Amino acid sequence: MSRFQAPSNEDRDDVFSEEETRLEKLIAPQAEPREFKVVYRNIIVLLYYHMAGIYGLYLGLTAAKWATVISAFITYCISGIGVTAGSHRLWSHKSYKATKPLQLFLMLCQSVANQHSVAYWVMVHRLHHKYSDTDADPHNATRGFFYSHMGWLMVRKHPEIEKRGKLLDLSDIYGNPYLKFQDT
């Protein structure tokens, strides 16, 4: 392992709870064939977002004032900061420590992104890293490019995701008053 490579969760004893050690070990890559149950509401919402985005781009290029275009770009940057610096680096990976005001700012920025609550985002991301390319991985790449990028948002979750998601330790997230407030 190079000095830049993160340690594997399989090498650590503290990442698996006692309940998890009793579950069948998932081996990657693994994706049992299954029938997907489509969530039509999610498909409609995603279609709407993309059509609105294309229409917004058209308006931005043809009719919108520069102040509107700049405002949209700033909103895009704010939401990106909330997801990357907040949900991903700070809360999912615990890559750095943040002051309370910064945590509040990042939680508000993440809210602008409209990607569920930080608690949900962190749960999905930690499952993804802990069970990569298995049925417990919410966006399992063995199911294909489309599924791993968007398709997983359009179908019901695999039962392994539900089962193992309940066993994840999210006490650091629910112990944070800002994130607890956002998740309610």
The pLDDT tens digits for 108-122 are: 999 999 999 999 999
Q: Which of 73, 156, 79 has its CA nearest to residue 116? A: 79
Instruction: Report, as an integer, the average pLDDT of 167-184.
Output: 93
Compute the distance between CA of residue 73 and CA of residue 5 in angstroms, rounded to an integer: 34
- Residue 12 pLDDT > 60, yes or no? no
Instruction: Report, as an integer, the average pLDDT of 5-25.
Output: 57
- Can you give the pLDDT at residue 25? 75
- Residue 139 pLDDT > 80, yes or no? yes
Q: Which helix (H) or strand (E) holds 53?
A: helix 40-62
Q: Output 12 or 19, whichever has higher pLDDT.
A: 19
Q: Which of 161, 100, 98 has its CA nearest to residue 125? A: 161
Question: What number of other Cβ atoms are within 10 A of residue 117's Cβ?
Answer: 19
Q: Output 5 or 100, whichever has higher pLDDT.
A: 100
Q: For the chain, what is the mean pLDDT?
A: 89
Give residue limits of the domains in the chain. Answer: 36-183
- 127 and 121 Cβ atoms separated by less than 8 Å: no
Whether residue 29 is preceded by a cis peptide bond, meaning omega within 30 degrees of 0, is yes
pLDDT in tens, 27-61: 766 667 788 899 999 999 999 999 999 999 999 99
Q: Which of 179, 163, 160 has its CA nearest to residue 121? A: 179
Tokens of residue 37, six digits: 């149950």
- Can you give the pLDDT at residue 17? 60
Helix (H, G, I), strand (E, B) or coil at 153: helix
Q: What sign results for the dihedral spanned by CA atoms 126, 79, 102, 95?
A: positive
- Can you give the pLDDT at residue 5? 47
- Residue 8 pLDDT > 60, yes or no? no
